Homo-oligomer: A and B are copies of this chain.
Amino acid sequence: MVMIRYISTIVILMVLNACNGPSNEEAQLEDYRPAYHFTPKKGWMNDPNGLVFIDGVYHLFFQHNPDSTVWGPMHWGHATSTDLIHWEEQPIALFPDSLGTIFSGSAVIDRDNTAGFGKDALVAIFTHHNHDIEKQQTGLHQYQSIAYSLDKGITWTKYSGNPVLPNPGIWDFRDPKVMWHEEGQQWIMTLATKQTITFYGSKNLKEWTRLSEFGENIGAHGGVWECPDLLQFATPEGDKWVLLVSINPGGPNAGSATQYFVGDFDGKTFTTTQQDIKWMDYGPDNYAGVTFSNTANRKILIGWMSNWEYANVVPASTWRSGMTIARELGLEEHDGQWLLTAVPVKELDRVLEDSDVIERIDVEKELDLSTEVMPLNNTFEGSFVMQKTTGFEIQLANESGEQLSFGYDQSKNEYYIDRSKAGDASFNETFPKRAVAARIGSPAPLAFRFLIDRNSIEIFADQGKINMSALFFAKDAFSKMNFRVDDLTTIENLQVKGVNVKK
């Protein structure tokens, strides 16, 4: 039963022209390929690497096995975009060499030619992983190397003095994220070292000095630490620093996830008074996320939308794995603690179809929004604001009887995603498990936004304070949408918008 008290604008539930997206048949042929998230044309992808913004173009490099849909010899793939939504795949940037395969890392613009490769040279700092040394079980098989490009990432020259940071005897020694530290006038490398983060400093990207180590007896330690990132935020209380640390396994909903620490960095040492464990994304499928270099005050993160629990076995044909939507990070104080927030970059708005907004509607039990989603071929976003907080569930279902459910459980004060019935979930035991995320406090109103792109859902709740990303593998697109509430409440600014990448 739907009880409509008043609607301040005339609501027309338009059946949008199905031309906006490919037909279901085409979508199935493309085997779950997202429409507005980056995927490689073929082969395997994992971590985003070397994210950097150059002259109006965003560069996304990525861990890539171009010759197979499972993990294997790592290359750096490459894609570019002017808006973080439309990506164009470029030729492979970095190939394995005599020092090893090319594991994760970052890229910086060397404005002052500190490395001597040229002013404004693009320098990639990455981990060489040597499989021959690995077999010797000495633990010395990972070390940091650099390469540079003078043509915006198309062609690369590896530095003849590689590695620039040899392995000091640490089995897991990888994923260098480098930034220029203005106050200290040097490059800072944030490096994953087993289950800690070690900071290194350098004046020239070639010679590195160990500065400090962080992470013992703090944070989640259910698995190895990987892909760190160190971010500086200006706040009314002065600068705050956020340290992102991906961890695998040991995430809040099993497997891979990214925790964060809010604290200070004095140019050498990261410190925090944070006691609890905080997660950047509570969903199962957002890992190894890092931010772009050279975006001034914008902090834009892209993560890998998968989980090592099942990454190699999710349904796939010619390619495997996509990236999350690019997210703008913020830092907000909430009840005396600092929280990292993440919302889709505003560039996404440009590809949203016009749609009608239900400015205000009272819902007692449920609202049928099927005519809204039916034509959108699983390529849309939804959002609303709930005035009085009550439990709710959004159910997206298709003609095959598959259903994706997500919402807010008021009794437990947690958001959740249930993908157990949303298509193939048989390939892994962990995959069908309900993912949950405790809400932080119970503020009203409750703002909720979610993105659907063929085989994925990304939830941004409470203005991005609680996020959840999850894959699913439904046979066909959702044609039904039910929005159920536990108790009568007022929903404002309710909208479902198709995403049209042809815009």
Contacts and interface: CB of A to CB of B under 8 A. Distances in A.
A206 to B, nearest CB: 22
A90 interface: yes
A70 to B, nearest CB: 12
Contact of A317 (B40, B69, B151): B151
B91 A66 contact: yes
Contacts of A95: 66-67
Contacts of A43: 91, 155
A83 interface: no
A463 interface: no
Contact of A92 (B90, B92, B154): B92
Interface in A117-167: 151, 154-155
B42 A318 contact: no
Contacts of A318: 151, 154-155
Given A151-B318, A317-B151, A318-B151, A41 B90 contact: yes
Contact of A89 (B40, B66, B67, B91): B91
Interface residues of A, number: 17
Identical copies in the complex = 2
Nearest to A158: B67
A67 B157 CA distance: 9
Interface in A83-100: 89-92, 95
A408 B67 CA distance: 50
Contact of A91 (B41, B151, B154, B317): B41
A405 to B, nearest CB: 34
Contacts of A89: 91
Contacts of A151: 317-318
A480 B171 CA distance: 66
Nearest to A149: B318
A40 B151 CA distance: 16
Interface in A290-336: 317-318
A318 B90 CA distance: 13
Q: Which of A42, A43, A89 has the most CB of B within 10 A?
A: A42
Contacts of A41: 90-91, 154
Contacts of A92: 66-67, 92
A90 B69 CA distance: 16
A349 to B, nearest CB: 30
B154 A42 contact: yes
Q: Which of A67, A69, A318 has the most CB of B within 10 A?
A: A67
A91 B91 CA distance: 7
A42 B154 CA distance: 7
Interface in A43-87: 43, 66-67, 69
Contacts of A67: 92, 95
A206 B322 CA distance: 37
A151 B43 CA distance: 13
A411 B232 CA distance: 78
9 contacts: A42-B154, A42-B155, A66-B91, A67-B92, A67-B95, A69-B155, A92-B92, A151-B318, A155-B317
10 A-B pairs with the lowest CB-CB distances in the bound complex, closest first: A67-B95, A155-B318, A41-B91, A42-B91, A42-B154, A42-B155, A154-B318, A151-B318, A66-B92, A66-B91
Given A42-B155, A43-B91, A67-B92, 16 more contacts: A41-B90, A41-B91, A41-B154, A42-B91, A42-B154, A66-B91, A66-B92, A66-B95, A67-B95, A69-B155, A89-B91, A92-B92, A151-B318, A154-B318, A155-B317, A155-B318
